[in-house]
Amino acid sequence: MKRTALFVLMSAAFAVAPIAMATAAPPAATQQLGTPSKLVLDNSTRVLATLESRRAEFTKNRTALKQFVSGEFNQMFDRDYAARLVLGAHGRGASNADVSAFADALSENLMQRYGSSLLDFNTRLTVRIKSETSIANGKATRVSTQMLRQGGEPVPVDYLMHQVNGQWKVFDVLVEGVSFVQTFRSQFDGPLSRASIAQVAADLKAGKLQAQAKR
């Protein structure tokens, strides 16, 4: 569940949890939805309703699935900023071109490995917004949600978002407390200690390195 949820959330605009046509559970009466929370709910509705309605098409046409996921990913996710966070100390002084190449290679590698799991994802889920909290001295926002499963325990999913040119973008996702950024920072610390960012990106793209979307 964790591995699949992490990738789905990252690649499909970070809002996974519909019931058939993607219904969002109402938040507590006192919760006022700000723009980041609204984006999470709106994207859960659009993305997962589309996955449900186009499931047969996507099953037959994986290129269409890839195009859909990539479009959603690029719309909601600040890939280059997240890539710099994943690179950590290895990214200090790195060129924008190298960072962008790493971001592209990582997302492509994940899509190749886990893209098909989107078609098997349990759609009988509901998203509940728990809270929206300002963090990093007001420079970012944390939207805390739960994925509610029939007959199962709620799965906590948090989205870290900041504004880019006046638009809210996701730069990290935590599924059951496990951070996308921290997961891949730990995973690629070794390869990046032995090779350049450009080489690691090339190895990812060639399949010599594999991203593992799990703890």
Which tokens is 159 given?
Answer: 């989205």
In angstroms, the CA 76 to CA 73 distance is 6
Percent of the chain with pLDDT over 90: 43
pLDDT the model gives residue 23: 38
**According to the model, what pLDDT value does residue 75 have?**
82
- The answer as to whether 119 is a domain residue is yes
The pLDDT value given to residue 107: 86
Asked if the model's pLDDT at residue 196 lies above 50, the reply is yes
- Rounded to the nearest integer, the mean pLDDT of the chain is 80
What confidence tier does 76 reach under pLDDT thresholds 50, 70, 90?
Answer: confident
Asked if residue 210 is part of any domain, the answer here is: no
Find all residues with CB under 8 Å of 27, minimum gap 6, and list them.
33, 37, 128, 129, 130
Q: Classify residue 134: in a domain, yes or no.
A: yes
> For 98-120, what is the mean pLDDT?
83
pLDDT at 100: 96
In the numeric block, the tokens 């600040």 are attached to 78
Is the pLDDT at 181 greater than 90, yes or no? yes
- Residue-range definition of the domain harbouring residue 62: 2-204
pLDDT (0 to 100) of residue 171: 94
Return the pLDDT at 121: 64
pLDDT of residue 213: 67
Residue 209 domain-assigned (yes or no): no
CA 37 to CA 29: how far, in whole Å?
15
pLDDT score for 12:
38
Residue 69's domain is classified under what CATH number?
Answer: 3.10.450.710
Whether 215 is in a domain gets the answer no
Number of domains in the chain: 1
What is the predicted pLDDT for the residue at 28?
Answer: 42
Name the H helices within 54-92.
55-60, 62-76, 79-87
> What pTM does this model have?
0.82
Contact 12, 69 (CB under 8 A): yes
Query: How far apart, in whole angstroms, are the C-alpha atoms of residue 16 and residue 40?
Result: 9
pLDDT at 17 over 80: no
Residue 190 belongs to a domain:
yes
- Tell me if 111 is assigned to some domain: yes
What mean pLDDT do residues 73-85 have? 90
Q: Nearest-CA neighbor of 22 among 56, 48, 41?
A: 48
Looking at residue 14, its pLDDT comes to: 36
CB atoms within 10 A of CB 188: 21
Among 24-33, 40-49, 61-70, 147-156, which stretch is predicted with the lowest mean pLDDT?
24-33
Q: Is residue 194 part of a domain?
A: yes
Q: What is the pLDDT of residue 212?
A: 81
User: What pLDDT, on a 0 to 100 scale, did the predictor assign at position 87?
Assistant: 98
pLDDT band at 10 (very low <50, low <70, confident <90, very high): very low
